[in-house]
Copies of this chain bind each other. A is one copy, B any other.
């Protein structure tokens, strides 16, 4: 891989998943692979799970990683070319990215959506400006519209549980309630990966108005009836997102979309997934999260090996 911004950068998903499972079985087997490599981890948005799993993955490979909390360090970046910088922005992305590119061999970056300007968010302007001016391989640590490291960890987890299946696993992505307007990135990315993987039966269920961007869901069955969607499901991915069409809005939803043990009865003893953090009893109940249905901890743990597989692949191609 030359970069890791979405599943489009991955030539063979199963090979990458297998590489990750190898690292999971032997985390320190390649502990000198990255001994000359410097990885910058730039967070324009706070992060915990992503930061720590990336740092651990780098450490396992012998890569020296350096964290930059651009937000809390108040590094006000001007992203627009040609701007007259006479207000609060102190450095242009051209110069900042140039410096980062000269310090680091690989750059991981987390950017964020405005949830106000859809066109700008979906252009992934920040990510592309950074890639353009740093001239180094970029790994998305979650961007405005996608979260490929999460999706890779998700596929790894599904594969661990379905390897002995005699049928194609049925995966259902279901919308869940929340009190805040959340990005669509985890759901977009999951849909994009499952579709690219093409080894599952895939259904998305959500209230009307919560349709995701068609570039990720084209060809996927959309079922507005959650109960019906869940029938015979092997895996249920639970996630809230705000509206794509009425961009960034929380719509009025009357039905109860909170998953519970009762709704699982019609499934194939389904495993329940969530990317965490999860608001218990709002997005997903204790009844499920504390049961054997939940594989959310396994997903979080697989974040380390997803990152390790991606880093190993990228530095092998430097």
Residues of A within 8 A of B (CB): 28, 36, 38, 40, 46, 48-49, 52-53, 55-56, 59, 64, 66, 68, 72-75, 78, 81-86, 89-92, 94-96, 98-99, 102-103, 179, 276-282, 286, 289-290, 296-297, 300-301, 304
Number of copies: 3
Say whether, besides A277-B95, A300-B98, A64 and B73 are in contact (CB < 8 Å): no
Bound form: Cα–Cα A52–B69 in Å: 12
- For A72, the chain B residues whose CB sits under 8 A away are 72
Q: Give A85's nearest chain B residue, CB to CB.
A: B279
* Docked pose: A84 CA to B282 CA in angstroms: 6
Q: A68-B52, A286-B82 are in contact. Are A99 and B179 (CB under 8 A)?
A: no
Cβ distance A52 to chain B, nearest Cβ, rounded Å: 6
Contacts of A94 in B (CB 8 A): 280, 289-290
* Interface contact B98-A297, CB-CB below 8 Å: yes
Q: Which of B53, B59, B74, B276 contacts A95 (CB 8 A)?
A: B276
Cβ 8 A contact of A86, one of B66, B73, B277, B282: B282
In the complex, are the beta carbons of B99 and A49 less than 8 A apart?
A: yes
11 additional A-B pairs beyond A78-B280, A91-B277, A94-B289, beta carbons within 8 Å, are A38-B56, A46-B74, A48-B68, A48-B73, A81-B286, A86-B179, A86-B282, A90-B277, A91-B276, A95-B289, A99-B276
Look across to chain B and name the residue whose beta carbon is closest to the beta carbon of A75.
Answer: B48
Q: Would you call B99 and A73 a contact (CB within 8 A)? A: no
The answer to whether A83 and B281 have CB atoms under 8 Å apart is yes
What separation, in Å, do the CA atoms of A221 and B103 have in the docked complex? 36
In angstroms, Cα B286 to Cα A282, docked, is 50
Cβ of A102: which chain B residues have Cβ within 8 Å of it? 297, 300-301
Bound CA span A81–B95, Å: 42
Contacts of A53 on B, CB cut-off 8 Å? 103
Whole-angstrom CA separation of A92 from B83 in the bound complex? 43
Most buried by B among A75, A99, A297: A99
For the complex formed, measure the closest distance between the CB of A276 and the CB atoms of chain B, giving whole angstroms. 6
Note all chain B residues with C-beta closer than 8 A to A85. Answer: 279-282
Taking CB atoms, residues of chain B closer than 8 Å to A49 are 99
Chain B residue with Cβ nearest A81:
B286
B301 lies within 8 A of A99 (CB) = yes
* Interchain CB contact under 8 A, B179 and A300: no
Q: Which residues of chain B have C-beta atoms less than 8 A from A99's C-beta?
A: 49, 276, 297, 300-301
A290 to B93, CA, bound (A): 13
